[in-house]
Amino acid sequence: MLMSTDISAEATQLAVAAELLALLGDTTTEPRPDTQLEALTLAVAADLPVLLWGEPGIGKTAALTQLAASLDLPLTTVIASVHEPSDFSGLPVVGDDPAVQGVPMAPPDWAVRLVRAGRGLLFLDELSTAPPAVQAALLRLVLERRIGALRLPPGVRIVAAANPRSSAADGWELSPPLANRFVHLQWTHDHEVVVRGLGGTWPRAALPRLDPRRLSAAVAFARRAVCGLLSARPTLVHRLPTTEGRRGGPWPSPRSWEMTLRLIAFATAAGTSRDVLSMLVRGAVGDGPGLELLASMDRMDLPDPEVLLADPAAAVLPERGDLRQAVLDGVVEAVRRRPEKSRWDAAWTLLVRALDTGAPDLVVVPASTLAALRREDWDVPASIERLAGAVSLSRRADEAAARVAAAAGAGR
């Protein structure tokens, strides 16, 4: 039996241990660019359910804890795999007169606490280890924010986390209906962030700063972007993947396109970077449709070929090579559709301007195509001489590259 002095000594050691643990947990935050954290906070601001995919121990739970603390939101963690379906659909409670009053579905205590608080971050952890029956019960919670007869208040945000099936304990593939309700983000670790965080300083999560003056324009732009793509590519409106694994990730449907529209509007109003927007769009509708949408959005901002042809000397061409190429191709196509001598000459002036302000190789294909559109009675403009050197030099470089490739192939 321990004497009182021994008990006192042990208590003292526990107090010292608690002090050491407090020092280890005493960390701070700093503003630091973090693409995946920006994507997460923007989706949270847009009130869309987010699903973080990452290997065990990658820091998903820690990121959510830090996010809740930074946004001053109470964090409620629910391990989906250890709950029964009735924990999410509601527990039947028999009243005094069921024939008259019916049998209400009582919500669990954590849902009641969220409603009382009026705000919070609901973290559904280990989602990929939840069996199909539990996943089915989660459908109404994720989409309608309902648990039994209770509706979560608008101030509650939902974020989930999952491990890939290959690294999940008794993992299941996510059901297509549940997967299609989330914005999927791949969560990876950044070496510098981990090292600096272990040193006591982690990145600070902050909601995006929305510009009130840009809200209406942001909504109009998002609707034009999504509707424009789906009008041109109707097969993308709903495309359920053929493999079970891909059905558990992001894929296009009217629901996920609506989420995408909301994400674009929020990203536009906040001036979000293209990298963050790309991560979010691809996380909503998948890589293929997402990249198509991003490409079509780039083209939306391109100048009208007719405006450029009307005043080629004052034309401002995009700096990015792929966008500049698209503009020049569009100008040549406009001349092809309505071939006139003045328009043909204006197109050559634009090509010269592109040569003077960008990479020479970008004018090779448009110049060759434009030259083929010449009518017999059209005089050759003097500006072609400016392009002749660039075109011939590019062709000689291509021929030299072909010869080198052929020689390398022959030597194998």
Higher pLDDT, 275 or 104: 275
Which range scores top for mean pLDDT: 34-38, 234-238, 324-328, 375-379? 234-238
pLDDT at 357: 86
pLDDT at 396: 44
Q: Residue 387 corresponds to which tokens in the numbers above?
A: 């392009």
Rounded to an integer, what distance in angstroms lies between the CA atom of residue 150 and that of residue 91? 11
Mean pLDDT, rounded, of the chain: 85
Rounded to an integer, what distance in angstroms lies between the CA atom of residue 398 and that of residue 45? 50
pLDDT at 55: 86
pLDDT at 405: 58
Question: Cβ of 135: how many Cβ atoms within 10 Å?
Answer: 23
Which range scores top for mean pLDDT: 340-344, 361-365, 388-392? 340-344
pLDDT at 118: 92
pLDDT at 202: 83
319 CB-near residues (< 8 Å, 6+ apart): 358
Q: What is the mean pLDDT of residues 330-339?
A: 91
Q: Is the pLDDT of residue 397 over 50?
A: no
Q: Is the pLDDT of residue 383 over 80?
A: no
Most distant CA pair in the chain: distance in Å? Answer: 114
Q: Is the pLDDT of residue 345 over 80?
A: yes
Q: Is the pLDDT of residue 298 over 50?
A: yes
Question: For 148, which DSSP code?
Answer: T
Q: Residue 72 burial (CB < 10 Å; 0-12/13-18/19+)?
A: exposed
Q: What percentage of the chain has pLDDT greater than the value 70?
A: 88
pLDDT at 213: 92
Q: What is the mean pLDDT of residues 101-129?
A: 86
The four Cα atoms 250, 256, 260, 261 give a dihedral, to 10 degrees, of 170
pLDDT at 394: 43
Place of tokens 């009382």: 116
pLDDT at 95: 63
Give tens-digit pLDDT for 190-246: 888 888 888 888 888 888 999 999 999 999 999 999 998 999 889 999 999 988 888
- Burial call 165-199: b when 16+ CB within 10 Å, e when fewer: beebeebbbbbbbbbbbbbbbebeebeebeeebee
Query: pLDDT category, 404, cuts 50, 70, 90?
Result: very low
